[in-house]
């Protein structure tokens, strides 16, 4: 199991980016969360199999139809115990 931290920049708030990211992550069997940040970006942390994390990363590079992704920053990190309790959990 691995964890990925992704920050997505551009027109990614108000276009169902977070909602669609959660749907994709659930479909891939990942655990984690996605949240809107005050600077207009979307922050995502997810963990699971690396192949599934790569699929989530690919999704974030394009996003839903109304989004305009300008930049995606990411890094892989060690997994953590759980994401339970985060109000934006998948």
Please say if 20 is a catalytic residue: no
Distance CA(6)–CA(11), nearest Å, equals 15
Q: Which is nearest to 21 in space by CA: 83, 52, 79, 64?
A: 64
Please say if 82 is a catalytic residue: no
Question: Of the residues 3, 18, 68, 82, which is catalytic?
Answer: 18
**Residue recorded with tokens 């990411």:** 74
Q: Show the CA angle centred on residue 44, arms to residues 5 and 2, nearest 5°.
A: 40
Question: Of the residues 3, 23, 36, 82, which is catalytic?
Answer: 36
Active site (catalytic) residues? 18, 36
């Amino acid at each position: 199991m691995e964890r990925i931290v992704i920050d997505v920049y551009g027109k990614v708030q108000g276009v169902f980016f977070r909602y669609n990211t959660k749907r994709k992550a659930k479909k891939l069997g990942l655990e984690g969360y996605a949240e809107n940040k005050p600077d207009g970006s979307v922050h995502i942390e997810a963990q699971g199999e690396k192949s599934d994390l790569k699929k989530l990363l690919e999704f974030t590079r394009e996003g839903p139809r109304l989004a305009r992704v300008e930049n995606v920053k990411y890094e892989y990190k060690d997994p953590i115990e759980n994401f339970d309790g985060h109000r934006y959990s998948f």
